[in-house]
């Protein structure tokens, strides 16, 4: 079932890219495996998945131990500063940086380990009170402040769009996030690139791809419902 789901998602991704005149190679799939057992991740791995998204530090640590080392782990959930040290050398990309204090902690631990950690800024584009992420008008200053920290590198932006019945309702937020990334790119800030746009989930990844997503994060559409 997982294998078929992945094939279908990839087919949809290609169709969405084509519709928007994009090269399908510009967009990658992250299989969001939070709460799912390693057997299911192994099945996705065997179907070709190498990018997995998790939102809990402990779960990344457990799964990291049990699965092949060529997996790229994506931290997509809220990250507490006191847990940064446990995953910093295990994750490929942290999508959920939403404060200068968190960035400072990542920088500090990265320098200790002699590595550079790639991050995205999580933007609360729809300004939902229940969500993490910074508001649009705070992003530029945050990026400028992080840019000068050692051991950390801003690679783009991420957003979690609202839960909606009709994916079209979220198109505006994806357009906004892309526009924001272009605005920041045009500032030519040293040590900052805006090549990554992480947006779109099971319900709206095709719309996100039409609006420029380079990573879509699909959980339910691959692994089924979470309890
Ligand atoms: C759970 C989660 C997803 C996947 O959601 P689905 O609707 O199951 O595809 C994507 N991004 C983040 C940040 C998540 O927490």
pLDDT, tens digit, 9 for 90 and up, residues 77-127: 999 999 999 999 999 999 999 999 999 999 999 999 999 999 999 999 999
Name 70's Cβ contacts closer than 8 Å, sequence gap at least 6.
Answer: 50
Ligand 1 centre to CA of 196 (Å) is: 17
Ligand 1 centre to CA of 122 (Å) is: 14
Reported as a pLDDT band with limits 50, 70 and 90, residue 151 is: very high
C-beta of 121 in contact with ligand 1 (< 6 A): no
C-beta of 120 in contact with ligand 1 (< 6 A): no
pLDDT at 188: 97
C-beta of 88 in contact with ligand 1 (< 6 A): no
Reported as a pLDDT band with limits 50, 70 and 90, residue 15 is: very high
Please give the number of the atom of ligand 1 that sits closest to the Cα of 160: 13
Reported as a pLDDT band with limits 50, 70 and 90, residue 227 is: confident
pLDDT at 10: 98
H helices of the chain, in order, are 2-19, 38-46, 57-66, 84-87, 100-113, 136-147, 171-185, 205-210, 220-223
The helix (H) or strand (E) run that includes residue 51 is strand 51-54
Rounded CA-CA distance 139/181 in Å is 10
Q: Is the model's pLDDT at 155 over the cut of 90? A: yes
Ligand 1 centre to CA of 112 (Å) is: 31
Sign of CA dihedral 10, 54, 156, 192: negative
Would you state the structure tokens that stand for residue 73, as one six-digit string?
């782990």
Supply the mean pLDDT for the chain: 98
Q: What whole-number percentage of the chain has pLDDT above 90?
A: 100
Sign of CA dihedral 91, 107, 217, 212: negative
Q: Is the model's pLDDT at 25 over the cut of 90? A: yes
C-beta of 216 in contact with ligand 1 (< 6 A): no
Contact (Cβ atoms closer than 8 angstroms) between residue 204 and residue 159: no
Ligand 1 centre to CA of 86 (Å) is: 22
CA-closest residue to ligand 1 atom 4: 219
Please give the number of the atom of ligand 1 that sits closest to the Cα of 95: 13
Rounded CA-CA distance 18/23 in Å is 7
Would you state the structure tokens that stand for residue 35, as one six-digit string?
């709460």
Q: Is the model's pLDDT at 5 over the cut of 90? A: yes
Reported as a pLDDT band with limits 50, 70 and 90, residue 191 is: very high
C-beta of 221 in contact with ligand 1 (< 6 A): yes
Name 158's Cβ contacts closer than 8 Å, sequence gap at least 6.
Answer: 76, 95, 96, 120, 121, 122, 123, 133, 196, 197, 198, 199
Task: Kindly state the greatest CA–CA separation across the chain.
Answer: 46
pLDDT at 147: 98
């Amino acid at each position: 079932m997982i294998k078929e789901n992945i094939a279908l998602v990839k087919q949809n991704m290609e169709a969405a890219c084509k519709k928007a005149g994009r090269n399908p190679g510009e967009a990658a799939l992250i299989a969001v495996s939070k709460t799912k057992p390693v057997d299911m991740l192994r099945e996705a791995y065997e179907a070709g998945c190498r990018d997995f998204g998790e939102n809990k530090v402990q779960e990344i640590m457990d799964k990291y131990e049990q699965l092949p080392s060529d997996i790229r782990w994506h931290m997509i959930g809220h990250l507490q500063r006191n847990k940064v040290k446990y995953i910093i050398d295990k994750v490929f990309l942290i999508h959920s940086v939403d404060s200068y204090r968190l960035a400072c902690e990542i920088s500090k631990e990265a320098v200790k380990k002699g590595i550079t950690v790639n991050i995205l800024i999580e933007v609360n584009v729809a300004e939902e009170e229940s969500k993490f992420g910074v508001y649009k008008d705070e992003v530029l200053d945050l990026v400028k402040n992080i840019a000068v920290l050692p051991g950390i590198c801003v690679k783009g932006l991420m957003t979690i769009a609202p839960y909606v019945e009709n994916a079209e309702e979220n198109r505006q937020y994806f357009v906004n996030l892309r526009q924001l990334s272009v605005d920041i790119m045009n500032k030519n800030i040293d040590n900052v690139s805006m090549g990554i746009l992480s947006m779109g989930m099971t319900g709206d990844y095709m719309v996100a791809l039409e609006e420029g997503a380079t990573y879509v994060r699909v959980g339910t559409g691959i692994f089924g419902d979470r309890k």
